[in-house]
A and B are shown apart, each in its own frame.
Chain A
């Protein structure tokens, strides 16, 4: 009797303690949002929505517009996904469908280890290895792909290897382990009986992956891509090393650009003018909102997919 009583009390205490921990997370989140909003109040009230469409960033005249870093953030993240998603998809298919068992573990671990490399190392690698490499192939790209009408402009710019494209490529390497690991894990959850049935009907590996595995696991796949996107949006050090840090809006991928995270890393220490500081915090708030929208969108997308699935069966 007394035993069960003390157990009940222990349980109650345990529940309170864990509840407290969970509430700390919520309080931190609310606290961070409040700090960002208070910090960016000056910009939001004085510059207003114009902040997001102005590309002027002039600390001397105290004029700040956030469009250039916002543009750079979106472009680099897009490049990262365009390059990273197909690669990750290939890695995951190979690991789950075609890989000889002896190779499966070492390869899988290698992909996961990519995620363990600190981002500053990616930055250094980007500056020392990737930058000269890109610089050496850039003139060829400009001379060939740069001549294509309309989209050719993408491949123009000074051949120095530093710029938006290099930053996007570094990011793509950084998001691969996240996306590939999630894809591999969810592909593995496909019931063997479904795949065997498809193979039994004479389907090729590609047909099995495209028509059976992918529809079965799309929730997880989109989740993995969103995880990668989240990392690409917020990555700071690696991008700062190679993006060129210029407030520049250009379709040319070889031009130097800027991202929100790298602007913050570069300028936060030295921003003594309140308007400058407020503009930087507004950028931070924007990045926060952007990540929030990405997550919300993926949730909404996933829930609508599940709803459709329900109707079909």
Chain B
């Protein structure tokens, strides 16, 4: 009996402690793009250790992120496809980039080692349009004189809507007029060819399973699954390998200041070392915050992440934003106000 009583008091004390702790600890919530999820999760973990503020990020996809922030169910949304300036104005949203990464075409060919195969944008577009159906097509063998290439090509792409797809088709649209008119740009498109895998993992799985296949994934997935990436010819006519230096090169010339809503799309950028399928991931917040406290915590989090998160970004093969861009973002934050119009940060 006494034992039970002791246990009960102990339990009550523990519960009380837990309640008071949760009251003290702040939680900020966000939802959206899957592409930057690994780095946001890592930042959230480190941030919690230093500040005891937890950040809860749901990687439901860019479209979902935009929907959630529009309906104000989260403190911030995240999207890989930048919203247009007029849409931002209509919904009263502020947009800023948080991290840069790259999309990488990957192949499964027994005779080819990672990074060996060279392709150009137009050839890649023709493969995805279904015009080039075999690896021994002259367009491919001319680019790869040393490689033994043969066999039918199986095209693998995303079955769900995705920011990764957006970067991929945005590049193809810029480089191939036929792609632009026939298919176009979006987070989901009407694919002329191929099988669809769900998520980066799904595409990686299919490419690993199907001999002679080609797919595209976010760089971290290509690295993690040891998929054979390819070299791409960039705008300056150079063949480049995907890694954080070529992603950084692509973002070097970006005009963050002159683009409304900081919505810079980094595909097909100039520069001898630029990787052509680079992209930034964006954060969306309401300009007028109904809960200024929560808004302030979100800004504090990203302020911390942009200043201190470079090391973990590099570990996960993302490219942190350069300091000049960070100060631009900090200026943008001044536009976020509480209901009375006073800047909250």
Contact = CB atoms under 8 A, between A and B. Distances in A.
Most chain A CB atoms below 10 A, which of B67, B152, B184, B210: B210
Given A127-B209, A240-B159, A247-B191, 12 more contacts: A58-B189, A60-B186, A132-B209, A160-B209, A160-B213, A245-B196, A256-B194, A256-B195, A256-B196, A269-B60, A269-B64, A270-B63
B62 interface: yes
Interface string A149-181: 000000000101110000000000000000000
B63 A162 contact: no
B162 A270 contact: yes
Interface of B: 60-64, 66-67, 152, 154, 159-162, 183-191, 194-198, 205-206, 209-210, 213
B188 to A, nearest CB: 4
Contacts of B205: 127
B328 to A, nearest CB: 27
Nearest to A256: B195
Interface of A: 56-61, 127, 131-132, 135, 158, 160-162, 240, 244-247, 256, 262, 265-267, 269-272, 276
A132 B210 CA distance: 8
| Secondary structure dominating the interface of B | loop
Nearest to B133: A158
B190 A270 contact: no
Contacts of A59: 161, 186-190
Contacts of A270: 61-64, 160-162, 187-188
A256 B197 CA distance: 11
Contacts of B160: 266-267, 269-270
A256 B66 CA distance: 31
Contact of A240 (B66, B189, B198): B198
Contacts, number: 87
B190 A60 contact: yes
A95 to B, nearest CB: 36
Given A246-B191, A266-B159, A270-B161, A60 B185 contact: yes
18 contacts: A59-B161, A60-B183, A60-B188, A60-B189, A135-B210, A161-B209, A161-B210, A162-B209, A240-B159, A240-B198, A245-B195, A246-B196, A256-B196, A262-B159, A266-B196, A269-B60, A269-B63, A269-B161
Q: What 6 A-B pairs come out closest when comparing CB atoms?
A: A270-B161, A245-B196, A245-B159, A270-B63, A58-B190, A244-B195
A245 B206 CA distance: 12
Contacts of B190: 56-61, 247
A60 B184 contact: yes
Most chain B CB atoms below 10 A, which of A240, A266, A276: A266
A240 B186 CA distance: 22
A161 B213 CA distance: 13
B187 A160 contact: no
Contact of A162 (B60, B152, B184, B206): B206
A262 B161 CA distance: 13
Contacts of B188: 59-60, 267, 270, 276
Contacts of B195: 160, 162, 244-246, 256
A269 B79 CA distance: 13
A132 B67 CA distance: 39
Contacts of B159: 240, 245, 262, 266-267
Nearest to A276: B188
A291 to B, nearest CB: 23
Contacts of A266: 159-160, 196, 198
Contacts of B67: 272
B232 to A, nearest CB: 23
Contact of B154 (A57, A158, A240, A245): A158
Nearest to B189: A60
Contact of A160 (B183, B197, B210): B210
Contacts of B186: 59-60
Contact of A269 (B61, B183, B191): B61
Contacts of A57: 190
Given A162-B195, A162-B206, A272 B189 contact: no
A135 B210 CA distance: 9
B71 to A, nearest CB: 12
Contact of A272 (B63, B197, B213): B63
B195 to A, nearest CB: 4
B185 A162 contact: no
Contacts of B154: 158, 160
Nearest to B169: A60
A269 B183 CA distance: 21
Contacts of B206: 162
Nearest to B213: A160
B66 A272 contact: yes
Contacts of B64: 269-270, 272
Most chain A CB atoms below 10 A, which of B63, B64, B191, B205: B63
Given A59-B188, A59-B190, A271 B161 contact: yes
